[in-house]
């Protein structure tokens, strides 16, 4: 492994290439960070293409290429500003006009001087061919950019974020603007030898865009972008050496690969993270539904709850039920137990009971809220509340409770747990078990089945209603509701919970 | 005016502004003293934002004068804090609420230096005052519209200027944030700062010390109870306002 890394370093041209890669990796990433937040990508592209005629002329006349390149880069920047200010043309069109025409001029010059200038080299660069003077240009440029950005960090940050505020505060916004255009031109020219005219913008933008996905402050973004830029350049360099690939293209491709990796894996915004958090939420919602059922069964006297009964109530296979219970156990909400008949069972812990009551509180407050403030009919609120109960935070619930005037019961008569988690005992019995020919009051009705609720509403059997069982056998129950007489099927009667009239109060 | 009268904090004399050959503002005068809130109301296209920008030298005047304490203002260079309309900001910018508030200190910090611990402490204190302390480290795009506006108000406050200019500070702002902002504006006024605000909401005009109706020129200016009359409203908005008034007036 070390050999693979060290072997190429015996060649001076590789050493130069590596150092150049480090310099332009950092410089490009720092300038690229500004390009990204200023939306200057197109400007970067414009300047890089505009250097072609300068480079071509410099080669023809035997001058250092970066002098020609800088000259045409700056001329183009000025030209863009001129077109923008002296016509109604917007900046993107102005850039399009100027850089394509400069590029065309460069091509025209090169076509006259066929054979003397290597067009492929100028367009796509070759980091393995950098001369000592190219390395010097890259090094000096890098230091210059870093020096300016470090010294003027806060001014540049404000200029990038809010140029109007910067101007009102008295910072020389125009000066900063032109200084950054100049630095951008220098950076691009210094990177030409390594990656060429066509690819240079990718070296600037891609590491910055990757860093943008990973951090949420500008300073750290520049640091992360620099690390990514250098890493991509160095890896690209090695790959191009061993696989004999075009160096500029390889570096850009490595950088792009890193970008897509970040898009997939970045915290919060990454696609993988989002998928995972969706799964986590689904697990939590399912777990909370289990807690509610366990709470119901425990309150009805079945404690601990046999796993077989739980599976039947949830309508899920026992293997899945076991996984759900393991999940709840890890959270400390349930503990394993043994049922009276010796089969495996599960019991709510104190914490599990509190959590279950919080979900019940959320559900019942939502039902009340949807019925009272949302104007929904009482048979429809259960399903809505079932979805909302898992998404509501304690402070929001407390506010809802306040808005509703601290109700004690949901629209179906079930008590609402307090914010401390206490739940009054339920003394009611199903109508099927009630004493015949004694005055009764409806305490609550089961809310799972909208059809049942609609039927009961039609019959006027709602919480607080007085009624009396006239007679009942196994097949039907005859009830008197304030004078009217109804015959109820037992399944319907079992959904109605009553207590003797006159015992206790209700809100 | 007597010789020894103290010149007002801000005075605009005979300001005219044009875009190309199209005049936007004609001969605008205004005077604002310390501890006063001046509210500018007018239809869209009346030149309200233009007036603010011309005072700040963000756009050139064709003629006229802007004086601060009796002397020509020129570029404000940190002597005025400005709260622009929310639409002009890139909310994806990698900066936290605290970063943005600290930007308000840059002028005080000076060239080649970074904000120090005392600047950070001040920024945190002001964030606390606008009720945004719990969100100090949140990226600004992850705040609600009202919270974003409170952060920008905090940035204006840490600049510690005698004059704050606000352009439609309540657009896209929730009721809770609106109350926080008004509370702070009242405090600022009580502590002797001057405030200049564009706000289209006609229901709050009685809060201003001076109300200005602007539509290219000054339609009316003075105490709200004198300016806010049906006659002046008709002159400001033309006939449209009559129908609006009648609709509102229906039982």
Q: Which of B89, B109, B114 sits opposite A162 (nearest CB)?
A: B89
How far apart are alpha carbons A321 and B152 in whole angstroms?
52
* Number of other CB atoms surrounding residue A270 within 10 Å: 17
Tokens of B51: 């007036």
Residue A62's H or E segment, with its range, is none
Partner-chain contact A170 B56, CB within 8 Å = no
Q: What tens digit of pLDDT does each residue of B83-137 get?
A: 998 878 899 999 999 999 999 999 999 888 899 999 999 999 999 999 999 999 9
Q: Does A155 touch chain B (CB under 8 A)?
A: yes
Q: Which of B84, B88, B93 sits opposite A37 (nearest CB)?
A: B93
* Number of other CB atoms surrounding residue A329 within 10 Å: 15
Partner-chain contact B77 A169, CB within 8 Å = yes
Q: What is the pLDDT of residue A475?
A: 64
Q: Which residues of B touch A34 (CB under 8 A)?
A: none
Q: What is the pLDDT of residue B120?
A: 96
Q: Which of B56, B96, B106 sits opposite A154 (nearest CB)?
A: B106
Q: Does B246 touch chain A (CB under 8 A)?
A: no
Residues 177-216 of B with CB under 8 A from A: none
Partner-chain contact B80 A221, CB within 8 Å = no
Which strands form A466-472's sheet, in the order they lie side by side? A429-430, A496-500, A440-445, A466-472, A477-481, A484-488
Instruction: Answer yes or no: are the C-beta atoms of A174 and A4 closer than 8 Å.
Output: no
Q: What angle do CA A425, A426, A428 make, to 5 degrees?
A: 150
How far apart are alpha carbons A39 and A17 in whole angstroms?
30
Q: Does B93 touch chain A (CB under 8 A)?
A: yes
Partner-chain contact A170 B114, CB within 8 Å = no
Q: Which of A37, A161, A170 sits opposite B107 (nearest CB)?
A: A170
Kind of pairing, strands A466-472 and A429-430? unpaired
Which strands form B22-32's sheet, in the order they lie side by side? B22-32, B10-19, B63-68, B71-72
How far apart are alpha carbons B197 and B54 in whole angstroms?
14
Q: Which of A37, A169, A221 sits opposite B107 (nearest CB)?
A: A169
Q: Does B86 touch chain A (CB under 8 A)?
A: no
Domain boundaries, chain B: 1-74+196-251
Q: What is the pLDDT of residue A5?
A: 84
Partner-chain contact B94 A151, CB within 8 Å = no
Q: What is the largest CA-CA distance in chain B?
A: 64
Q: Does B39 touch chain A (CB under 8 A)?
A: no
Instruction: Answer yes or no: are the C-beta atoms of B139 and B95 closer than 8 Å.
Output: yes
* Interface probe with A: pick from B94, B114, B176, most Cβ of A within 10 Å: B94
CA dihedral B154, B159, B163, B166 (to 10 degrees): -40
* Number of other CB atoms surrounding residue B205 within 10 Å: 16
Partner-chain contact B103 A153, CB within 8 Å = no
| Region for A332 from its dihedrals, namely left if φ exceeds 0, alpha if ψ lies in -120 to 50, beta otherwise | left
Return the closest-CA partner of residue A489 out of A472, A476, A478, A470: A476
Residue of A nearest to B113 (CA): A151
Q: Which residues of A touch B75 (CB under 8 A)?
A: 167, 170
How far apart are alpha carbons A192 and A208 in whole angstroms?
19
Tokens of B134: 């719990």
Q: Which of B77, B82, B99 sits opposite A217 (nearest CB)?
A: B99
Residue A489: partners with Cβ closer than 8 Å, 6 or more residues away: A476, A477
**Bond into A114 cis (ω within 30):** no
Partner-chain contact A212 B94, CB within 8 Å = yes
CA B229 to chain centre: 24
Q: Which of B94, B106, B112 sits opposite A169 (nearest CB)?
A: B106
Q: Which residues of A touch B82 (CB under 8 A)?
A: 164-165, 168
Q: What is the pLDDT of residue A386?
A: 87
Residues 209-228 of A with CB under 8 A from B: 212, 215-218, 221
CA distances from residue A306 to A286, A290, A310, B106, B210 in whole angstroms, order as listed: 19, 13, 6, 67, 75
Instruction: Answer yes or no: are the C-beta atoms of A445 and A497 closer than 8 Å.
Output: yes
* Ranges of chain A whose pLDDT falls below 70: 114-117, 472-477, 482-483, 503-507
Q: What is the pLDDT of residue A366?
A: 92
Partner-chain contact B95 A167, CB within 8 Å = no
Return the closest-CA partner of residue A469 out of A491, A446, A493: A493
Q: Which residues of B touch A153 (CB under 8 A)?
A: 114
* Ranges of chain B whose pLDDT falls below 70: 1-4, 239-251
Domains parsed from chain A with CATH numbers: 2-264 (1.10.3470.10), 272-348 (1.10.10.10), 429-500 (2.30.30.90)
Residue of A nearest to B89 (CA): A162
Residue of A nearest to B78 (CA): A169
Report the complex ipTM: 0.91
Q: Which residues of A touch B93 (CB under 8 A)?
A: 37, 160-161, 218
Which CATH number does B1-74+196-251 carry? 3.40.50.300
Q: Between A and B, how many residue pairs show a Cβ–Cβ distance under 8 A?
A: 72
Partner-chain contact B93 A160, CB within 8 Å = yes
Q: Which residues of B touch A158 (CB under 8 A)?
A: 103, 106
């Amino acid at each position: 492994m070390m050999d693979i890394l060290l072997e190429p370093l015996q060649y001076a041209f590789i050493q130069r290439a590596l150092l150049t890669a480090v310099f332009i990796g950092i410089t490009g990433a720092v300038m690229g960070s500004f390009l990204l937040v200023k939306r200057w990508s197109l400007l970067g592209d414009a300047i890089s293409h505009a250097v072609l005629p300068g480079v071509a002329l410099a080669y023809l006349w035997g001058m250092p290429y970066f002098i020609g390149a800088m000259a045409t880069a700056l001329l183009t920047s000025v030209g863009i500003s001129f077109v923008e200010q002296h016509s109604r043309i917007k900046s993107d069109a102005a850039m399009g006009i100027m850089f394509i025409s400069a590029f065309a001029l460069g091509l025209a010059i090169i076509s006259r001087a066929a054979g003397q200038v290597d067009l492929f080299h100028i367009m796509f660069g070759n980091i393995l061919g950098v001369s000592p003077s190219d390395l010097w240009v890259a090094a000096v440029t890098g230091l210059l950019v870093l020096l300016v950005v470090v010294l003027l960090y806060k001014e540049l940050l404000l200029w990038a974020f809010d140029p109007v505020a910067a101007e009102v505060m008295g910072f020389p916004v125009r000066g900063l603007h032109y200084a950054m255009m100049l630095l951008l031109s220098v950076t691009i020219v210094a990177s030409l030898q390594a990656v060429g005219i066509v690819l240079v913008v990718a070296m600037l933008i891609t590491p910055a865009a990757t860093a943008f996905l990973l951090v949420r402050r500008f300073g750290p973004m520049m640091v992360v972008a620099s690390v990514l830029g250098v890493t991509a350049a160095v890896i690209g360099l090695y790959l191009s050496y061993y696989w004999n690939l075009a160096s500029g293209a390889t570096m850009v491709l490595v950088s792009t690969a890193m970008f897509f990796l970040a898009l997939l894996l970045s915290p919060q915004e990454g696609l993988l993270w989002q998928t995972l958090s969706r799964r986590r939420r689904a697990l939590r919602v399912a777990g909370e539904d289990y807690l509610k059922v366990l709470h119901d069964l425990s309150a009805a006297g079945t404690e601990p709850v046999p796993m077989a009964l739980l599976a039947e109530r949830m309508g899920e296979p026992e293997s899945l039920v076991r996984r759900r219970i393991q999940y709840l156990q890890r959270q400390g909400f349930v503990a394993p137990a043994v049922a009276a008949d010796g089969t495996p069972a599960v019991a709510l812990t104190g914490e599990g009971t509190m959590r279950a009551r919080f979900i019940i509180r959320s559900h019942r407050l939502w039902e009340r809220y949807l019925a009272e403030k949302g104007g929904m009919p009482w048979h429809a609120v259960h399903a809505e509340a079932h979805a909302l109960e898992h998404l509501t935070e304690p402070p929001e619930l407390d506010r809802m409770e306040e808005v509703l005037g601290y109700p004690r019961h949901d629209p179906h008569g079930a008590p609402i747990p307090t914010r401390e988690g206490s739940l009054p005992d339920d003394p009611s019995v199903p109508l099927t078990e009630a004493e015949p020919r004694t005055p009764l009051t409806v305490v609550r009705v089961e809310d799972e089945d909208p059809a049942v609720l609609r039927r009961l509403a039609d019959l006027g059997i709602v919480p607080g209603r007085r009624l009396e069982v006239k007679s009942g056998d196994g097949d039907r129950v005859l009830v008197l509701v304030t004078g009217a007489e109804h015959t109820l099927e037992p399944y319907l009667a079992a959904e109605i919970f009553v207590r003797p009239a006159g015992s206790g109060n209700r809100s | 005016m007597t010789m020894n009268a103290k010149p007002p904090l801000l005075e605009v004399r005979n300001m005219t502004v044009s875009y190309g050959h199209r005049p936007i503002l004609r001969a605008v005068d205004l005077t604002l003293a310390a501890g006063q809130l001046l509210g500018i109301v007018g239809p869209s296209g009346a030149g309200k934002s233009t007036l603010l920008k011309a005072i700040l030298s963000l756009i050139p005047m064709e003629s006229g004068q802007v004086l601060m304490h009796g002397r020509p203002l020129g570029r404000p260079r940190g002597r005025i804090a400005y709260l622009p309309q929310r639409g002009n900001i890139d909310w994806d910018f990698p900066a936290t609420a605290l970063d943005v508030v600290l930007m308000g200190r840059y002028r005080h910090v000076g060239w080649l230096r970074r904000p120090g611990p005392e600047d950070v402490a001040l920024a945190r204190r002001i964030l606390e005052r606008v009720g945004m302390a719990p969100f100090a480290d949140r990226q600004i795009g992850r705040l609600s519209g009202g919270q974003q506006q409170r952060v920008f108000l905090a940035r204006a406050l840490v600049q510690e200027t005698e004059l704050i200019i606000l352009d439609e500070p309540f657009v896209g702002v929730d009721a809770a944030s609106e109350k926080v902002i008004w509370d702070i504006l009242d405090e600022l006024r009580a502590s002797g700062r001057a405030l200049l605000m564009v706000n289209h909401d006609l229901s709050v005009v009685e809060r201003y010390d001076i109300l200005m109706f602007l539509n290219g020129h000054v339609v009316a200016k003075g105490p709200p109870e004198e300016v806010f009359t049906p006659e002046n409203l008709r002159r400001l908005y033309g006939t449209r306002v009559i129908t609006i008034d009648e609709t509102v007036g229906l039982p």
